[in-house]
Structure 1
Amino acid sequence: MKDFYRAINWNKLEDQIDKATWEKLTEQFWLDTRIPLSNDLPDWRKFDDTNREVVAHVFGGLTLLDTVQSQDGMDSLMKDIRTQHERAVLNNIQFMESVHAKSYSSIFSTLNTPREIEDIFDWTHTNKYLQYKANKIANIYQTGTPLEKKVASVFLETFLFYSGFYTPLYWLGHNKLANVGEIIKLILRDESVHGTYIGYKFQLGFNELDEEQQSKLLSWVYELLYDLYDNEEKYTHELYDAVGWTEKVLAFLRYNANKALMNLGFDALFPDTVDDVDPVVMNGISTSTSNHDFFSQVGNGYLLGDVEPMSDEDYNIGL
C-alpha cells in the first residue's frame, strides 16, 4: 500500500510533449453518434454482394484490432510510463480506441442485418490471419519489454490497421459511403497522433540504450515487421483478390509500414512512396471535412478544434 500519493500538476511538466498531445487529442474529440450513417444506405443498396462482403470483413478486422488496443495495449503501456502526464494521455488514447471499436458496430447496425452482423463476428473470430496478428501483438503486450510494447503499438496503429482502412478510403475517393468515410477520417486522425506520440516515447527509451542493446532491438523490430507483413500479405489476398485490389492495397500497406518505422525513428524498409499509392485513396485521406446538417447531425466539422484536410505530413504530426 502506498503511503504517499502525488497529485498530477499540469502546471509543472516533465515533458512538454505530454501536454501538446493531450491538447491535440482533446481538440479532436468526437463520437460516432454524431455522424449520420443512415445517409449512406442509398450507396450501400447499390453495392453487389462481393463489395459488401469486403466492407463487412474489413470492419470486422478493424473492430478486433481496436479491441486489442483498447483492452490490452494501453493497459500494457501504462505500466511503463515516464511521467504522470503520460498516463493521462494514454487514458485518453485508451478511451478513443474504444470509441473506434464502437464506431464499427454503429456502421454494422446501419448497413447490415442482425444475421449478417453475427456472420461478420464469426468470420472475425475464426480468420487465421486476423487472429495471428491480434495474438502476435497481444503476446508482445503481455510478455515484451517496455520498448517492445511500444513498437507493437506503433505497428498496430500505423501499419496493421491500414489493410482495413483502404476500403472506406477507396469508396470515399469515389464519393460513396461518405459518412462511413467521415468516421474513418476521424479515426485516422486519432491514429496519426497515437502512433507519433508512442513512437516519440519509444525513441526516448531507445536513445538511453547502449549501442549493443540498440542493435539487438533494431534487429528484433525489423524481424517483427517482416513477420507481420508476411501475414498481412496473406490477409490482404484473402480480403481483396475477389475485387482485384490486392496489389494496390499491398502498396498502401508498405507505404504505411515505412511510416511506422519513421515514427520509431528508423529508416524506411520498403521502396514504396506516396507516389505508389492509389491516388483515389490518398484523395480520400486528403478530402477536407464535410459539414452535414448544422442543427442536428454533423460530420467531423463539429469538432472542438479547427479541422484541416489531412495530408501526407499528417502521419507525422511533429511532436
Structure 2
Amino acid sequence: MSEVMLEKAKTLEPRNPNKSTGVFGGKSSGILNWNDIAYPHWYKMYKRLIGNYWQADEVNMSGDVKQFPSLSKEEQDAYLKIIGLLSTLDGPQTRTALLLSLYATDPSVQSIMAVIAQQEAVHNESYSYVLSSVVSLDEQNESFQLGRKDPVLLKRNENIIGTYNAFVENPTIENILKTMVYTALLEGMFFYSGFAFFYNLARHNKMVGTSTMISYINRDELEHGRFIAELFRATLAENPEYNTGSFIEWVYDHFKESVELEIEWSSYVLADVEGIDLIEMAGYIKYRANKMLRMMGLEEIYPDHVENPMKWIRAYVDNFDGTKTDFFEQRSRQYTKTSDLNGFDDL
C-alpha cells in the first residue's frame, strides 16, 4: 500500500461542508458548529476538558518546602528523577497535540487538541513550579537534564522519540495512527509509576502539595487518554485499509515492549522507596495497559491483570461528585464545575 502524504488542513475553505467528511484527509470548511459535528459525543469531551481549568501556582507548596529536606536520600533522588521523567514526557505533548490538530480536517478535533495542548503546557509549567519550590536552580536544571542523559530513561523513551519524529517527517495516516498509539500509552500508562510515587509519599503525610498537583495532572491525563483512544478508533474506522492484522500486531507488540520498559524504569527509580511493592507496581502497569487497549477497541494482553492491584491510589483521585478531598486535611475544594458531563474512568 503506497503511503499518501497528508497536507495540513486549510484554515478556511467555504466550498467544503461545515461538518467534516473525515478526521484526517477529509473536507471541511473550517467553520465549527458544535451542534452539527461528525462525532456529537466529542462535545461532551470538550466540555469535560475545559471544566478542568487550573493553574500551577494555585497549589500551596509551603508544607513541601519544609518537608523536602527531611525526606530520605532515596526519596529525594526518586522525587527529582520522576519530575525529570514527567517533564520529558509532557514537554513534547504540547507540540504533538498541536501537530495533530494541524492535519486534522475535523474542526472539533482541532478545538479539542488546542485545549489538550494548553493543558500539557500547564503540566510542564507545574514541574518547574514544584522544583523551584524545593530545590536550587542548579538542582532543577539537573533534574530537567535527565531526559537527555539518563541511560535508563533514554532507553525507555527511544520508541516515543522515533514514532513522534517519524510523524513530523512523514505525516501519513499510518504515522498519525502510530503517534496516537504512543500518545495513548503516554497519557494512560507511562505517567503512572511516577504518579504512584507521589501518592505513596502523600499517604505517609509527605509532600502533600506535590501530590495535589499530581492529582490535577492525573485528572487531565485521564481525559486526554480517553479522547486519544476515541480519535484512534475513529481514524481506524474511517481508514479501514489500515485495520489489518499486521498493524494491530504492531500495536500489541509496542504495548508489550512499552510495558517491559516501564517496569524496568519503575524498578530502577522506585527500588529503594519505602512503601511501594515493585511486583504490585508491575501488575499495575499491566493493568493500565489493558485499560488503554480496551479504550482503543482492542483486546487485553494481560488476562491476569484486569483488576487494579493498587486500589489505595484511588484515594488521591477525584470523587464522582466533582469535588476533591485532600487525603490528610479532609478539606473539600471545588475541582471542576459539577454537571452531567462529569465522571471519568477509574484508575
What residue in structure 2 maps to residue 200 of structure 1? 230
User: Post-superposition shift, 1:118?
Assistant: 2.5
Aligned-residue sequence identity (percent) comes to 20
What residue in structure 1 maps to residue 4 of structure 2? none
The answer to which structure, 1 or 2, has the higher relative contact order (CA under 8 A, 6+ apart) is 1
What residue in structure 1 maps to residue 19 of structure 2? none
User: Post-superposition shift, 1:181?
Assistant: 1.2
Task: Return the alpha-carbon distance in structure 2 between the equivalents of residues 143 and 178 of structure 1.
Answer: 39
User: Post-superposition shift, 1:239?
Assistant: 0.4
TM alignment of 1:33-72, pairs within 5 A: 33-71=57-95
Aligned residues: CA RMSD:
2.8
Is the 1:173–1:281 contact (alpha carbons within 8 Å) kept by the matching residues of 2? Answer: no
Structure 1 counterpart of 2:307, one-letter code: V
2:137 to 106, 109, 114: 114
For normalisation by structure 2, the TM-score amounts to 0.79
User: Post-superposition shift, 1:122?
Assistant: 2.9
3-state secondary structure, aligned to 2:324 = coil
1:77-135 Cα deviation digits (max 9, x unpaired): 22442510110100110110111111011110111122221221233321123223434
Matched, 1:77 2:129: no
Matched, 1:289 2:313: no
What residue in structure 1 maps to residue 25 of structure 2? none
Task: Return the alpha-carbon distance in structure 2 between the equivalents of residues 11 and 208 of structure 1.
Answer: 21
For normalisation by structure 1, the TM-score amounts to 0.85
Is the 1:289–1:300 contact (alpha carbons within 8 Å) kept by the matching residues of 2? Answer: yes
Is the 1:74–1:91 contact (alpha carbons within 8 Å) kept by the matching residues of 2? Answer: yes
What residue in structure 1 maps to residue 212 of structure 2? 182
What residue in structure 2 maps to residue 149 of structure 1? 179
| Closer/same/farther in 2, CA of residues 107 and 54 from structure 1, 3 Å limit | same
TM alignment of 1:244-255, pairs within 5 A: 245=276, 246-255=278-287
What residue in structure 1 maps to residue 126 of structure 2? 103
Matched, 1:226 2:235: no
Is the 1:108–1:117 contact (alpha carbons within 8 Å) kept by the matching residues of 2? Answer: yes
Is the 2:222–2:345 contact (alpha carbons within 8 Å) kept by the matching residues of 1? Answer: no
What residue in structure 1 maps to residue 147 of structure 2? 124
What residue in structure 2 maps to residue 266 of structure 1? 298
| Closer/same/farther in 2, CA of residues 171 and 257 from structure 1, 3 Å limit | same
User: Post-superposition shift, 1:148?
Assistant: 1.5
What residue in structure 2 maps to residue 4 of structure 1? 13
Is the 2:130–2:210 contact (alpha carbons within 8 Å) kept by the matching residues of 1? Answer: yes
Task: Return the alpha-carbon distance in structure 2 between the equivalents of residues 3 and 286 of structure 1.
Answer: 39
Structure 1 counterpart of 2:13, one-letter code: F
Task: Return the alpha-carbon distance in structure 2 between the equivalents of residues 311 and 272 of structure 1.
Answer: 24
Greater percentage in helix: 1
User: Post-superposition shift, 1:51?
Assistant: 0.6
Point out where structure 2 has 5 or more consecutive residues left out of the alignment. Answer: 1-9, 15-28, 168-173
1:169 to 184, 196, 199: 199
Point out where structure 1 has 5 or more consecutive residues left out of the alignment. Answer: 292-298
Structure 2 counterpart of 1:268, one-letter code: E
How many residue pairs get aligned? The number is 306
Task: Return the alpha-carbon distance in structure 2 between the equivalents of residues 225 and 302 of structure 1.
Answer: 36
